[in-house]
Structure 1
């Protein structure tokens, strides 16, 4: 009997819970797959080698993405000779990477800036290159390449599907004398190879060969992982929040059925068991569909992430069984958990009391809800304190996101306590029968009003938090930039990573050296004597009268510290003579030229004010942040809007009898629709106020943390058009969902 009775009049609730589980499982599957697919990838040119030997890692933090300490030419020759004595080694190939950028129609190809030594069969000859066929340059045709010395002409001898430009070993050795990786062919014993290499390098096989990926790819992958981690966290929170709130709301809406069951003799245990089974069944039905949709969505998003520059070339979805199993279990577990608390509360109600509260809700705030809400508020405060005291920007962002989640949860849990006051505030001044109906309906069902406002709260809160965090961060860096930049004109790169000697002349060069195994940025300038170095004021105490430096070609020299570098727009720990830098790093480029040399501006450069140098350095990060913002808003606003429609459709189905009573007692169709529309608008307004307040508090905490980081006041800023669009979207979706059922009901009954 219980199983038959439980199906009476609850089709809409089942559909609503089913859709919530489907949406949540899709989100979790999508972003878990994308997050776990971001593993280091073996470079295409090294994929055919059984093992890769890489030079020693730099002693930098992992998030600095420093290239390994290079081997010198002498060290490479010695290592190759020893490796060739290992039984089973058929070939040892030298991998080299350097700056080489094609010029097509006089313009640099922005997404192709790396040159490599060709490691396959049929290598190009001297003065020849192999290029990616997507460039459209036919075999035998000349191709102009930008290198650190300037533009030179090469002949295309072949095509490949790999990115970059490929040179013969002698040409590559001239452009990149330092070596960071060797490829081993054959079937040697890896233990024997490691014994030969010893502490001079790292031997990797299988997927571990991904350690040889370029640091630029590692940085891109790291940025993508930060984006996907935050989006996965937000998606997981959306999944828990929306499924749990919808499941609890569905149980709460079944008070009438529960009252009848209790009246005919159902025990609390039987009621709880029925509700748990229903939630579990819906979760089991919806989860597989959600996993399938999530897998398809992950495939599409993976291509988008590569195109947007959030993942490196070759990134693809990896199908890991444990990820699919975890996503499959998420929906049913959260569905049951969300229904459990509501089921326990509903099952405790006595038979007569259950029938009495079928039309009038019990008290809006239970003791458990108060405890959970205040706990979430305390967690938000703790996250805000942690963000304010964090010294690392990544930690600030993590704490801010956790604080925003806790504030949203606290606002949703504590909403019934403030809903009556908000109803009086928003509808108190209104008069007329429509306002009266909407006001009294919302006030008589405070818990229902809070539950239907919860998806709006979620949507608006994260619209405020995401856009506010981005706008406030941008304002912080603009303030910092304005405090450090002068007003002269510069020649800056345009579509290239830097300026070659043919454009820069004797302008300072950027390079990287290694001191005690740690990679350090270095400037090569003519203001320093040969064999000496100037140190920055911040780093002066870390250096003695001399410093031992390993250059990009793997050679080591000791230079004398001659003093402190004067302040300037280019900042580095060490300043060396320009010719010293060029001698050891044939691929070093100039970041800018000042003053601008006379004559026409060459390809790959443009004139700009000094602020453009800093803005250009931040341009790629700004673009990635915009993509990040779009992803976060798509997850929060998209899932929130669907949840608004779902919840209000569930409410409209349940309130069909109420609307018919109004119509039968003399209310016109227009009056019924106006009352429903006004109540829906009230719900959206309540959710927007609570969500906006939660988001504002989270952004204000981030602004204080940013101000402490840069030592200046940071104003709180928002993207009001985006926030307004989120509220408007919730309102439009809510009105359509809530008015559709009353309109069709009154039309049919009429």
Structure 2
């Protein structure tokens, strides 16, 4: 069953099934997690959800303090309610040894902390605080805590397990007046709670309390889901592609055998049935092995996803039998799909046609291949021209991808036309009998050479285009961001989520407000007058002469629109007065201050404009680059596997040629050197064609980005990474091809 012709299929199905099984387990495990402070609250009422699309991850519209208190009083009168907790998270970050403590940036009121004292007493005063025992600040001692207004000394009154910053309820109400969640302890009837709340909020119980997870965690889960979905899709595509190429190559090598079967009376249906049964059998055995590997892979990857910030802290694998069942069924199905086209083609082979197989290609490029290749090249050129003139990022990305795909198809179809020229150029320095043999073999089998180089072409083209697009776009946006700064230096956060008022008293202050229930980005500037607002040019159509908005503390106000906002490094739809933003958003932090003065408070760093431009979206860039590398590893692995499999089959079916070389006096070393040179030639041709194709597609993207940012943009490609991919393809090609040549023995 597992003949060498099916070995590549077996390996491909094992790997793809393992990836699918691991990804499905991780995907089903990506569930909203109930925050620790809500675990002991049986029912939680959440404020009305924002009307933004789900991918905006907008916070719910907050209740103002008076509304929240009134609702809490009414809920506290329900039977079974033992306590009512108003959740008020705010920015609070302890400072230790002169530096902000990383990862601990949120404080809570004592009753909302859901923490139990291990020593000391709860906080009651204005500057009392309970911290985690891991902070190692003795009870009664002072600790510096950063809030949005700046650093201050707080007295530690107690310790809890883990990491926490807990203050008195009155202090939490001052630092965060708006309320987005009210928790009920005890055993209240959810129906009675819904009757009291009505349309003023959403009642959450059980696992539904996972909706209370931080929006940052929800966004990480969404990013992780996208990564896993793309991984599954790419693994499935790679498997189908590899199985299809393996089956096509195998059928082509077995044309004589199929012709003999047809000659002795086998029907086309019987030929197809034989190939289908082999594919299903191989797929079933491979899927079993793949599912086991997938389970092990999922257990290894859960911690990696958290460390790579593709999943929030606390993410673990949950077992779902249906996910493993789906992964197992995917193996035979993908194997069958990959073999389907070859089976249909094999069934149409006639007995005499199969027995009249030419050993020398008389016409590498057919008329239909010329037409299809030139058409694809024309489409790629047109898409490249449109990409270079696109003024919108979305249009640029879509047409750049279309152009790249069209050019790759054109390169694969037209490769036999340029292979002879490349063979002569690349082998021109190689002299002697070995060089002559390799040169003539490649020129005699031009289509075979082009087909073997196709996986390398696809792998290198994909790697150069994707990594080049990401790196070039990142550099272009950094240039545009730097161009909007008119100072020589910029004050940026260092170990904190933003700058406090003490570090940057006049810095732009971002916040989120709500207009007609939708979250809108706003920016507070000291130059703006209270009671007025400016709108960005892109959002001008959404607002009229005035706008009614809800602030972060739930307070409603109508502002007069006085004009359009000037361009700046921090994008926002509305520009408000900075003092107004501070009054209504006590935890707002500035992302940067455009000044030449260094801060004297912890959590700030003075850098150059270029450094600011690079770090402004460092986390976004890191996530995008991590995602890119993951897809690149997947595609490169599939491509390298396809190269190894094709060369393995090609070399095995050419053992007769190697035996002839041995009979002519060649040593095993000389035969192996000939095969190694052939493999190197194939990988080099594929790399050159793939790299040239991707660079042509990238030129259009660079032109569009240059027009958007108003500066010259050069194409940036991480060539060391691409070189590593090419080297991996070459190593696998050599490992797959040379052993068969070494084992070739002259026939007696």
- C-alpha distance 589-490 of structure 1, shift in aligned 2 (>3 A): same
Larger mean Cα displacement after TM superposition, 529-538 or 281-290: 529-538
Which whole-Å CA distance do the structure 2 matches of 1:620 and 1:363 have between them? 53
In the alignment, is the contact (CA less than 8 A) between 1:129 and 1:158 conserved in 2? no
Map residues 189-588 of structure 1 onto 2, 5 A cutoff.
189-357=189-357, 393=393, 397=397, 404=404, 408=408, 412=412, 419=419, 423=423, 426-427=426-427, 432-446=432-446, 448-535=448-535, 543=543, 546-561=546-561, 569-570=569-570, 572-588=572-588
Q: Which of 98, 109, 125 is equivalent to 2:101?
A: 109
1:133 positional shift: 5.5
Q: 1:289 to 1:533 in 2, by over 3 A?
A: same
- RMSD across aligned positions (CA): 3.8
CA change 1:526–1:721 in 2 (3 A) is: closer
Normalised to the residue count of structure 1, the TM-score between the two structures is 0.86
CA distance in 2, matches of 1:405, 1:263: 42
State the SS of the aligned residue for 1:53: strand
CA separation in 2, counterparts of 1:173 and 1:41? 26
CA distance 1:694–1:259, shift in 2 (3 Å): same
CA displacement 1:198-244 (0-9 Å, x = unmatched): 22122233443332222222333333344444444433332222222
CA change 1:487–1:525 in 2 (3 A) is: closer
In 2, distance between residues paired with 1:139 and 1:366? 85
CA distance in 1, matches of 2:172, 2:502: 20
**Residue matched to 1:125:** 123
Counterpart residue number, 1:30:
22
CA distance in 1, matches of 2:229, 2:393: 15
Q: Does the 8 A contact of 1:490 with 1:594 survive in 2?
A: yes
Report what 1:50 is aligned to: 42
Contiguous gaps of at least 5 residues in structure 2: none
Q: Name the residue aligned to 1:3.
A: none
Tell me by how many angstroms 1:178 deviates: 0.7
Give the distance between the partners of 2:166 and 2:404, measured in 1 at CA: 49
Deviation by residue 1:496-544 (Cα, 9 ceiling, x = unmatched): 1222233224544333322333333334344344444455566567555
1:309-365 Cα offsets, whole Å, 9 max, x none, are 222222334444444333322332232222232233334334454344285679768
- Contact 2:487-2:595 within 8 A present in 1 as well: no
Contact 1:128/1:157 (<8 A) preserved: no
Structure 2 residue aligned with 1:21:
13
Q: How far did residue 464 of structure 1 move? A: 1.0
Deviation at 1:744, TM superposition (A): 3.9
CA contact (8 A) 1:511 1:581 kept: yes
User: Retained in 1: the 8 A contact 2:64–2:554?
Assistant: yes
What is the CA–CA distance in structure 2 between the aligned matches of 1:367 and 1:291, rounded to whole Å? 45
Q: Verify the 8 A CA contact 1:178 1:554 in the aligned structure 2.
A: yes
Relative distance call for 1:535 and 1:652 in structure 2 (3 A) is closer
* Higher mean C-alpha displacement, 360-369 vs 74-83: 360-369
**Can you list the C-alpha shifts for 1:76-107, whole angstroms capped at 9, x where unaligned?**
11212333344454443222211111222211
Q: State how far apart, in whole Å, the 2-side matches of 1:378 and 1:196 are.
A: 66
Q: Against the structure 1 CA distance between its residues 646 and 580, is the aligned structure 2 distance closer, same or farther, given a 3 Å change threshold?
A: same
Contact 2:143–2:155 under 8 Å retained in 1: yes
1:157 aligns with 2:171: no
Alignment of 1:39-188 (within 5 A): 39-117=31-109, 118-120=112-114, 122=116, 124-126=122-124, 127-131=127-131, 135=135, 142-152=142-152, 153-155=154-156, 157-161=158-162, 164-188=164-188
Deviation by residue 1:454-504 (Cα, 9 ceiling, x = unmatched): 332232122112221112212321332243222333332211122223322
1:40 partner SS? coil
The verdict on how the C-alpha distance between 1:507 and 1:358 changes in structure 2, with shifts beyond 3 A counting, is closer
| 425-434 vs 503-512, greater mean Cα deviation | 425-434
Q: Judging changes above 3 Å, is the alpha-carbon distance between structure 1 residues 51 and 33 closer, same or farther for their aligned structure 2 residues?
A: same
Relative to structure 1, the CA distance from residue 38 to residue 159 in structure 2 (aligned partners, 3 Å threshold; closer, same or farther) is same
* Residue 671 of structure 1 pairs with residue 670 of structure 2: yes
CA distance in 1, matches of 2:537, 2:411: 49
Distance 1:729 1:83 in 2: 65
Using a 3 Å threshold, how does the CA distance of structure 1 residues 138 and 21 change in structure 2: closer, same or farther? Answer: farther
CA contact (8 A) 2:306 2:312 kept: yes
1 CA distance for matches of 2:136 and 2:290? 42
Is the contact made by 2:129 and 2:158 (CA closer than 8 Å) also made in structure 1?
yes
Asked if the contact 2:43–2:188 (Cα under 8 Å) also holds between the matched residues in 1, the reply is: no
Q: Aligned in 2, Cα 1:130/1:457: closer, same or farther, shift over 3 Å?
A: farther
Counterpart contact for 2:510–2:521, Cα < 8 Å: yes
Deviation for aligned residue 1:378: 9.5
Q: Which moved more, 1:207-216 or 1:557-566?
A: 557-566
Alpha-carbon offset, residue 634 of structure 1: 1.7
- Whether contact under 8 Å (2:140, 2:155) holds in the other structure is no
Question: In the superposition, relative to structure 1, how do residues 41 and 404 fare at CA in structure 2: closer, same or farther (>3 Å)?
Answer: farther
Out of 292-301 and 407-416, give the one that drifted further. 407-416
Residues 702-721 of structure 1: matches in 2 within 5 Å? Answer: 702-703=701-702, 706=705, 710=709, 714-721=713-720
CA 1:203–1:376 in 2, change beyond 3 Å: closer, same or farther?
Answer: farther
- Alpha-carbon spacing, 1:609–1:261, altered in 2? closer, same or farther (3 Å): same
Secondary structure at 1:501's aligned position in 2? coil
Aligned length: 739
- Asked if the contact 1:531/1:560 (under 8 Å) is kept, the reply is yes
CA 1:113–1:378: 2 relative to 1, 3 Å: farther
